[in-house]
Structure 1
């Protein structure tokens, strides 16, 4: 029974973190609508967005670290946090994403973009600089703690080889589905992206590195 409630609590934390992440996206992607709905001046809205961002990130990481204190067979988040080998692993992951994603986009896309990317392109026009902040920094932080950190802490807690690779595939698929819920052919590209990010996390045992890979990849879209 104790294990059941532990599992249920972790699932609830994932749902809460994901819901808060969705609300946070609205603040960044739909600033005009938020401005009009709550009758805020722009200065007040910027401060409100910054405050809510800090609170959402703090709570999400609090959930993650609490889960690690309860069960951490994999040895995640151990000191020292930074090493050259793991930094190189993160950049190798970035290279894999760029190469594999590019090859698959050429094979599947034929000059087209996914519905998710079309929506992001539309949001970019109305969000201004807030869009870049969300895509490059906030989204990778939130998505990595949810889809990699909390996901493995909940569904693949036992440190076995089978769990590692099953978790990588499952984490990648969930990530892909939430970016392409209509199951178009582009879901394969998001699946590869999610799997590589999960591989970076499992290879380094530290979210900092999958976040670094994710942030760098998203930043490439603005270069």
Structure 2
């Protein structure tokens, strides 16, 4: 069990490094051209790079699922129940964001370092950054942190272990966006990860957490 978990965590780490490299491959040519790269050039590069990454992630995710006995994970049709639950998670997600905003306004914490750097890149490469943040990022990060990281831990057929997986994946999700040296922002990101993780663990369908992640990132860019 421990050997399998460590093996899966190693795979997740390698794919996370691949995600970072994919962002680099899309952003750097645009930044080097000082924003003069054409729309088709940027969109084409993004489609190729992130298309390959997503195919690799999806194949690994399916492989992880095939090794489990749990039948909880499957495509969940949009019913009144799932729509209501998703709406509740959207409200919870924005409650977390509101709490973070209030902490920043009161001076309890500053703007996350990664957020300010992303906004700076947005000024130089708006199309590439928008595609990464609103299209590639939500799908890749949900497959990484929910689809793969949560399934790195054993006994996903048991609710107790799913709770453990949600908590651990949320904490690591927070660390991927900030650090322990910024505890309040780490807690905010971890809480967001918990909302996404709870959505996935409850519905069993990763599309719902992807949707929440997309809505969250889109709102962050607009506001």
Q: Normalising by the residue count of structure 1, what TM-score does the alignment of the two structures yield?
A: 0.85
Report if the CA contact (8 A) 1:108-1:186 is conserved. no
Question: Of the candidates 9, 19, 22, which is equivalent to residue 21 of structure 1?
Answer: 19
Aligned alpha-carbon RMSD (Å) = 2.5
Distance 1:25 1:33 in 2: 12
Pick aligned residue for 1:172 from 166, 170, 173: 170
Can you give the 5+ residue segments of structure 1 that lack an aligned partner in the other structure? Answer: none
CA shift, 1:45, in A, is 5.5
1:91 aligns with 2:87: yes
| CA deviation profile, 1:5-55 (whole Å, cap 9, x unmatched) | 64344223212321221112113433335669xxx9875554333112111
2:67 is equivalent to residue 64 of structure 1: no
Aligned match for 2:52, one of 46, 51, 55: 55
TM-score using structure 2 length: 0.85
Quote how far apart the aligned CAs of 1:206 are.
0.8
Cα deviations across residues 195-222 of structure 1 (Å, max 9, x unaligned)? 1110011111110000001101111123
**Does residue 105 of the first structure (1) align with residue 101 of the second (2)?**
yes
- Which residue of the partner structure matches residue 121 of structure 2? 123
Greater Cα offset, 96-105 or 192-201? 96-105
- Equivalent pairs counted in the alignment come to 217
1:146 alignment counterpart: 144
- Residue 133 of structure 1 aligns with which residue? 131
Aligned to 1:198: 197
